Amino acid sequence: MTSKSILVVGDGPVPHDYMNYRADVLVRYLALRTKHTVEILCPSPTQRRSDLDLAEGYPDVRFSYLPSSDPVSGFVSAVRRMVTVGSTVAHIRRILNSGRVDCIRTISSAPTVAAVLARGRRQIPIVANLSDFYGDLYTGSRLPLAWIAVHLIAIVERLCSRADVVIVDSPFQRARWGKRGVVQDRCVVLPHGLPRTAPAVVGPSPGCLTDLRLSLKLAPDEKLAVHLGDVGEMDGVDILVGALGALRREGVPVSLLVIGDGTPRYMRELEKIVERCGLRQNYFQIREVRNDELPLLLSQCDVCVAPFRLRDTSMTAIQNKVLEYLTVDVPIVATRSEALEWALGDAVCLVDPENEKALASAVWDAIKDSTMSRHQMKRRNAIRQSLEWADLLLTEIAIIEGVFCETTPRWNQWDFEPSWAV
């Protein structure tokens, strides 16, 4: 394959210090391991890396930055996000007009819509990664005019079907996008990889909380459950609070650490639920932790929990929080979804959705004995090996290069197959 010029368009900053972000690991891999020319268009990081870090981790990568985008927390910020999409279209057009792009690789729906609009009638292939549905994220954040927004988002999302190839997390996500117009034969199942398994830019930091229990002032017999990631209606932290409140009323000494944040409105609602469940003194929040510090922090907890409600996104995605949990030897309790059953099997404990009693029972079983069985460890190790970024990125490159083949490839030849059953 001759050298090509690839424009990566992301909805998050690159470098990204606070998330296992696909655009970041992809750009690094393309720059370090292939002969292709790479350009990245993305929101500006809040703290820019030094020129030396960029030169070492992203050699010869051309960076083009959009204004930093705040999380959608209300109607005004939602309008700002729409303006950002328009700005992204303008930036992509300028880059395309320079004549230096052979392929556009987009990460998430908004950049894909922007790329489709900017490309127009140009014969430039778009390879898109679509691992969530924005309508779910909007309604789950308790934002205003949700019913109008979801309808408009559904219309806009159909533009994603104009991408030449679409990459998704699971076969179930492929089916959901099929209902939004994506041609199934042009859709490849390739989930995100495990954090910190891609080429590194800088060495890991020593960790901000070397003694988490001391920092939180936990009693020696107190158990600690952790939830990592976004905090919204779909994420189900309120369900977890209810389950842990029930355990404490039964005399089980368990506290909750939430690593992440949500919209002000949802967080106010969550505070009331925490108070009502009697968990005020046993609820802790850390709004953000650097990605390379998470293993040290998570390994000091007794159980990692993902109690999400079932929506199109949560049913079909392998969430970043679950990938983070898989990197440490701590029991995992999560909502049963078709994607997690397919990808993880019985390597984690799966419970029925929105069932506080079942969730409480599973958490109690996990904290009574945090030692995982030999069977579970074997499954975990197989999953970790199959989800290493290094192997997944080889497939990524094959897919990107496939759009330049004279004969259209059979795209599902690159579908990911879970290895936990081996």
Q: Answer whether residue 204 shows pLDDT above 60.
A: no
Per-residue pLDDT tens for 363-410? 999 998 777 778 888 899 999 999 999 999 999 999 999 999 989 999
pLDDT at 222: 96
207 vs 161 pLDDT, higher one? 161
Residue whose structure tokens are 């954090």: 195
Position 133 confidence tier, pLDDT thresholds 50, 70, 90: confident
**pLDDT mean over 88-108:** 95
CA distance 128 to 110: 10
CA distance 382 to 186: 28
Question: Of 179, 227, 192, 231, whose CA–CA distance to 108 is shortest?
Answer: 192
Query: Which value, to the nearest 10 degrees, does the dihedral of the CA atoms of residues 299, 382, 315, 308 take?
Result: -10
**pLDDT mean over 107-125:** 94
Q: Answer whether residue 151 shows pLDDT above 90.
A: no
CA distance 61 to 27: 8
DSSP 284-329: EEES---GGGHHHHHTTSSEEEE-PPP-HHHHH---HHHHHHTTSS
Kind and range of the H or E run holding 128 = strand 126-129
CA distance 64 to 16: 15
Who's near 206: CB < 8 A, 6+ residues apart? none
Per-residue pLDDT tens for 21-50? 999 999 999 999 999 999 999 998 877 777
Per-residue b or e along 172-182, where b marks 16 or more CB atoms closer than 10 Å to that residue's CB: bbbebbeebeb
Whole-prediction pTM: 0.92
Question: Of 130, 58, 68, 83, whose CA–CA distance to 317 is shortest?
Answer: 130
Who's near 141: CB < 8 A, 6+ residues apart? 72, 73, 232, 233, 262, 263, 265, 266
CA distance 396 to 113: 20
Q: Answer whether residue 74 shows pLDDT above 80.
A: no
Phi/psi at 213 (5° precision): -65, -40
pLDDT at 136: 66
pLDDT at 1: 74
Percent with pLDDT over 90 in the chain: 71
Average pLDDT, whole number, for the chain?
A: 89
Who's near 228: CB < 8 A, 6+ residues apart? 259, 260, 294, 298, 304, 321, 324, 325
Per-residue pLDDT tens for 255-311? 999 999 988 888 999 999 999 999 999 999 999 999 889 999 999 999 999 999 999
The phi-psi region of residue 99 (left if phi > 0; otherwise alpha if psi is between -120 and 50; otherwise beta) is left
Per-residue pLDDT tens for 228-238? 998 988 999 99
Cβ atoms of residues 346 and 376 within 8 Å:
yes
pLDDT at 154: 75
Percent with pLDDT over 70 in the chain: 89
Per-residue pLDDT tens for 315-349? 999 999 999 999 999 999 999 999 999 999 989 99
Position 75 confidence tier, pLDDT thresholds 50, 70, 90: low
pLDDT at 45: 84
CA distance 56 to 393: 19
pLDDT at 228: 98
DSSP 63: E
Between 69-83, 124-138, 387-401, the lowest mean confidence (pLDDT) is in 69-83
Phi/psi at 59 (5° precision): -60, 130
List the Cα angle 14/15/17 in 5-degree steps: 125
Phi/psi at 29 (5° precision): -65, -45
Tell me the one-letter amino acid at 369: D
Q: Answer whether residue 131 shows pLDDT above 70.
A: yes
Q: Answer whether residue 73 shows pLDDT above 60.
A: no
Integer angstrom CA distances of residue 42 from 8, 45, 72, 133, 289: 8, 9, 17, 20, 21
Position 85 confidence tier, pLDDT thresholds 50, 70, 90: confident
